[in-house]
Structure 1
Amino acid sequence: MENKSISDIIEAYLKEILGNSAQIEIRRSEIANQFDVVPSQINYVIKTRFTIQNGYLVQSKRGGGGYIRIERVNLLDDVNVLDSLIQAIGSSIRERDAFDIIQTLYEEKVITRREGDLMLVALSKQTLAVGDGKVEDQLRARVLISFLNRLRYES
């Protein structure tokens, strides 16, 4: 049997709640109580698993009536979402994060498997090996942003 971490279980639960809905609103404390974890564990799951790179926007409102809203977004139908993704990439991106973005593009049927495979090769450590990890991450970001901007203009 596969060993799943509590973070994996919470992520699966939140995705199940989201289902086919465009968005959900949750109370962090209620989810934490349900899984018998501290509320910061819920924050961790949301911060690491529900990112713009993975096709989600997260908004939160603090205070007594506070909530966390998780919204599934189509990465390329909304120019603002694409701009947010490019902003999140910034001037540098690690290989794992770039691969997550490409996986999301494939899952959302924005790119084909072949296109995704070619993008993965172009962004890999082996391809971008320049001897300096920082320069490699900067180069990866520029290439990925170029890919995303090209996709923006495809019909």
Structure 2
Amino acid sequence: MRNISDIIEAHLKEIIESSNHNVIEIKRSEIAESFQCVPSQINYVIKTRFTVEKGYIVESKRGGGGYIRISRVQHHDKMKLLNELILLIQPRVTQQGAIDVIERLLEEELISEREARLMVSAISKDVLAVPITLRDELRSRILSSMISIVKYKD
């Protein structure tokens, strides 16, 4: 069974995909009311599921007429996207940030499910058993190298 965060994420992504410009403006309170949850749940979903690594830009305006604007960044040039992802994860990247990038590669159909699982496995904290101060840097180097290989996959 999916949790409320998954359901809210799927709903927002569906609205974005159906929009002509891959942009939506929502009122946090209205979405919370429609899902019968607290507004902070909407904040959590947006903060964790609509990140730059996953290809989204989030802007918000506070106040009575406030809104949250979520934009899906579309890349028509796959090489440019891969280069931008490499820059995004350097010089260091957290495990979650790396997973977000890998999910983005999967969504863009640049890697297969199997390749994604291999990549996630290679950058996990269990595999990178080095002091925390070095782990994110090492993860960045490994993932950057894997993305570089994807650039010349075909």
Q: 1:137 maps to what in 2?
A: 136
Cα pair distance change 1:127/1:76, threshold 3 Å: farther
Equivalent residue, structure 2, for 1:32: 32
Partner residue of 2:128? 128
1:1-155 counterparts in 2 under 5 A?
Answer: 2=1, 4-21=2-19, 22-74=22-74, 77=77, 83=84, 86-87=87-88, 89=89, 91-112=91-112, 116=116, 119-120=119-120, 122-125=122-125, 128-129=128-129, 131-145=130-144, 147-148=146-147
Which deviations, in whole Å up to 9, do the C-alpha atoms of 1:52-75 show, x marking residues without a partner? 112211111222222111111135
Q: Unpaired segments of 5 or more residues in structure 2?
A: none
Tell me the secondary structure at the aligned position of residue 19 of structure 1.
helix
| Contact 2:75–2:81 (Cα < 8 Å) also in 1 | no
CA RMSD of aligned residues (A): 3.2
The answer to whether the 8 Å contact 1:76/1:82 transfers is no
Cα distance in 2 for residues equivalent to 1:72 and 1:148: 21
Q: Is contact 1:94-1:137 (8 Å) kept?
A: yes
Post-superposition shift, 1:100?
Answer: 2.4
Give the TM-score, by structure 2 length: 0.73
